[in-house]
Structure 1
Amino acid sequence: MTSPSSEMITLDADGVLTLPISTADNGTALDHDLVLAGTEALLDVTRGVRDAGAILLTGAGKNFCAGGNVAKFAEADDRAEYLRGLADDLHRFIKVLYQTRLPVVAAVSGWAAGAGMSLVLHADVAVGGTRTRLRPAYPGIGLSPDGGMSWALPRTVGAARARHIIMTDQIIDAARALDLGILAEVVEDDAVADTARATAAKLAAGPRGSFAAIRDLVHASASRTLTDQMDAEAASISSLSTTGEGVEGVDAFLAKRAPDFRAAR
């Protein structure tokens, strides 16, 4: 039986898999049911059940995600067990997000706090609006980060700045988030959703092998020496050169026409 959360997840004709992570309910807090449904949708991608070319993370309310549902934290009979379960489920979602090897776009309208900010950091392209705000939020309730924030933020802004941002619970406006490299683009607030979706559609139409390799190379670079990284680059570009997309890209360039990567898959 299809759950209401599953019905909010869509795969359109352009190959964009849209995964909402919050709704207007509970003040746009991270929706646990949507996290679980999103994980299943992502697993379908890894199994080849869904033919997606890009992933779009969105909020279904005024905010991308205002963080965890703190009221439910307080209601839990065993708070430690409850929070561990939430964190494990969110982390499984993020792990499978990476396993798809697909480009990830985030439409960051309004606030992205706590786990919402963590998810923004895992996007390849995060599009915000002029009123977008990000905040770690964890110290404000006496907790530590989850959602991979303590891994992703140092890789984006540097370890010293990440510690400063998280420990002082900074509110980061759109302009600063753009300067820090957390947001890739800032547009008018009413254009965030359309811009992010158009970006996801453009990526979905592009060379999937190339994008997957780019993500793999960039993510692995932090733990490799320069020599090892260049060896990986050489192996990757060589391997891609004989794929349908690689051949089409080179042929199209020489013919001075736009490549048709969809047809080449």
Structure 2
Amino acid sequence: MDRLIKEIKGTLGALFIAVIIRTFLFQPFVIPSASMYPTLMIGDFLFVTKYTYGYSNYSFPFAPPLFQGRLMENDKPTLGQVAVFRAPVGKTENIFLRMTIYFDESLDYIKRVVGLPGDKVQVKNGILHINGVACKLEKLEDYTLRDPRYNSVKVYSRYRETLPNGKTHEILMDLPFGAGPVDNTPEYTVPEGHYFVMGDNRHHSQDSRYMKELGFIPEDHLLGPARILFFSTEARWYDVLAWIPGIRVNRILKVIE
């Protein structure tokens, strides 16, 4: 009996430590969709540093209404940073795509920050403009996207995008410039305490460009920046036995840019 009690105490202690680490330090996150290709792939497992932006109600399980704003804030999101957040709205009908898009506050989402508070953000003919300046695009070799969800293969046009602060990253374009449903938007001024986010797979990402569906991300909905990949596999997340055979060795411990 004494041994059983010790084992139970040890298990509970380990669980308590794991909860503390996940809540206050590092939260694991798995990529379920293709919206951030080529930066993040379906089957990538990454860590988010929750202490970077500090803590809000959404930093804790079930988002209890404990306080207003953020506590222990160490830093704020920077232009071009990949961040995890909770969506600020529920579901709505998208008249352009003729489909219902679901944004669940209980789920985590990941996009790239392309607009800070006070910035003016606009997309013209598929090209991102920040404060009236078009982001530079450099054509790269085409990208072959293999989607493990459907065993599909598709070739996308790939570009290197440079933001006004010099931050560079790669984006994908599935359609000609200007042909996407949000390739031409009004000029949006990001409100104080909010951020404008976009996916790197530009024609396959529901993000802040869909203003009625998602729109600006409130600061207290941010969980933290995505920092490093600790595992990556081509297997579906629920097919645990296939994780190891499908491992992407070259992506393990890769820093997220």
Greater helix fraction, Structure 1 or Structure 2: 1
* Greater length-normalized contact order (CA 8 Å, ≥ 6 residues apart): 2
State TM-score, norm by structure 1.
0.25
TM-score of the superposed pair, with normalisation by structure 2? 0.25
